[in-house]
């Protein structure tokens, strides 16, 4: 029995090492794919500010994006991720409208640019938040400021748009929040789609490897359980480490 459990333990440890190596290699590959795709995304957002067509509110998106000096395709992708182009959308946290702007953020920016001054009797009401033009106006100004804050790093700006600048600066990048990571991923994939760019690298790095990760993590859990069981049996039987 001793040899049997010792063999199981050794095989289990070896298998666990192999699984860890494979998992690490996949992580490196995934990181490389993401990095290359992020560079392509940032370059496209900052250097190719194409106008959007054949989507809801295209004219408003193009106009206010140009006024803010940012990519219309990026703004369209943010609206898609935030509200699916629903002007009356309200999040559980209270964010409002097409670009899901929090009332506090709205008030700060509106105080400076006076977006509500000539609309709805000059008062910020529910009608303001649901007004497509005003919401896109406020949202593009805010997004433009985030891009300036992060030196035109669109990935960081998007993360800050979702999780707040404090979280991005704390983690020096996308915070480890599932919601924020999923949010940035959705926007980048949508941008690749409307930009007519090849998103294969990004999809491989962020989407296609998910099932592989889950499979390997499951195998590692099983292997670790087997190793622990074998070790427990060995300790129980011999209570010493003098194996012959």
- Measured between its terminal Cα atoms, the distance across the chain in Å is 13
pLDDT band (50, 70, 90) for residue 205: low
Average pLDDT of the residues of the chain: 84
Handedness of CA 126, 162, 62, 185 (dihedral sign): negative
- Average pLDDT of the residues in 40-45: 84
Return d(Cα 44, Cα 57) in angstroms, integer. Answer: 21
**Confidence (pLDDT) at 206:** 57
User: Residue 240: left (phi > 0), alpha (psi -120 to 50), or beta?
Assistant: beta
Provide CATH code, domain 49-197.
1.10.530.10
What residues contact 148, with CB distance under 8 A and at least 6 apart?
none
Quote the CA–CA distance of 14 and 20 in Å, as a whole number. 10
**What is the arithmetic mean of pLDDT over 50-59?**
92
For residue 9, how many C-alpha atoms fall within 13 Å in the half-sphere facing its CB? 15
Distant-in-sequence, close-in-space partners of 29: CB < 8 Å, separation ≥ 6: 205, 209
pLDDT at 211 over 90: no
How confident is residue 177, by pLDDT bands cut at 50, 70 and 90?
A: very high
For residues 24-49, give the mean pLDDT.
Answer: 78
State residue 235's pLDDT score. 77
- What is the arithmetic mean of pLDDT over 216-234? 82
Residue 243 has pLDDT above 60, yes or no: no
What is the per-residue DSSP string for 90-131? B-TT--BTTTTB-HHHHHHHHHHH-TTTTSGGG---HHHHH-
Q: Which residues pair with residue 90 across a beta bridge?
A: 96
Q: Where are the domains of the chain?
A: 1-47+202-243, 49-197
Q: How far apart are alpha carbons 228 and 226 in whole angstroms?
A: 5
Question: At residue 202, does pLDDT exceed 70?
Answer: no
Which residues are known to be catalytic? 82
Calculate what percentage of the chain has a pLDDT beyond 70.
86
What is the rounded average pLDDT of the residues 31-47? 79
Which tens digit of pLDDT belongs to each residue from 97-142? 999 999 999 888 988 887 776 665 556 777 889 999 999 999 999 9
* Range 29-55 average pLDDT: 81
DSSP 8-state assignment for residue 48: -
Structure tokens at 32: 């490389």
Q: Which residue has the higher pLDDT, 70 or 213?
A: 70
Q: What is the pLDDT of residue 121?
A: 58
Q: How far apart are the C-alpha atoms of 78 and 155, rounded to whole Å?
A: 12
pTM: 0.74
The predicted-structure confidence for 58-102, as pLDDT tens digits, reads as follows 999 999 999 999 999 999 999 999 999 999 999 998 999 999 999
Q: Would you say residue 20 has pLDDT above 70?
A: yes
What tokens were used for 67?
A: 């006024």
The distance of Cα 162 from the centroid of its chain, to the nearest Å, equals: 9
Could you give the CA distance from residue 78 to residue 99 in angstroms, rounded to a whole number? 7
What residues contact 88, with CB distance under 8 A and at least 6 apart?
97, 130
Whether residue 42 contacts residue 157, with contact meaning beta carbons closer than 8 Å, is answered with no
């Amino acid at each position: 029995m001793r040899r049997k459990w010792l063999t199981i333990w050794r095989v289990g440890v070896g298998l666990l090492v192999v699984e860890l190596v494979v998992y690490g290699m996949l992580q490196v590959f995934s990181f490389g794919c993401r990095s290359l795709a992020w560079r392509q995304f940032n370059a496209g957002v900052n250097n190719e500010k194409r106008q959007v067509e054949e989507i809801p509110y295209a004219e408003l998106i193009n106009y206010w994006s140009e006024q803010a000096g940012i990519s219309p395709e990026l703004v369209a992708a943010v609206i898609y991720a935030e509200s699916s182009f629903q002007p009356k959308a309200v999040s559980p946290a209270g964010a409002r409208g097409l670009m899901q702007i929090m009332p506090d953020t709205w008030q700060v920016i509106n105080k400076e640019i006076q977006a509500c001054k000539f609309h709805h009797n000059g008062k910020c009401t529910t009608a303001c938040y649901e007004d497509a033009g005003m919401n896109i106006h406020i949202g593009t100004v805010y997004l433009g400021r985030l891009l300036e804050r992060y030196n035109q790093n669109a990935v960081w700006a998007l993360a800050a748009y979702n999780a707040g600048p404090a979280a991005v600066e704390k983690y020096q990048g996308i915070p480890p929040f599932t919601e924020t990571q999923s949010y940035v991923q959705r926007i980048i994939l949508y941008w690749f789609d409307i930009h007519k760019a090849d998103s294969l690298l990004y999809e491989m790095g962020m989407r296609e490897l998910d099932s592989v990760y889950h499979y390997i993590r499951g195998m590692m859990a099983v292997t670790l359980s087997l190793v622990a069981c074998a070790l427990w049996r060995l300790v129980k039987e011999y209570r010493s480490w003098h194996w012959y």
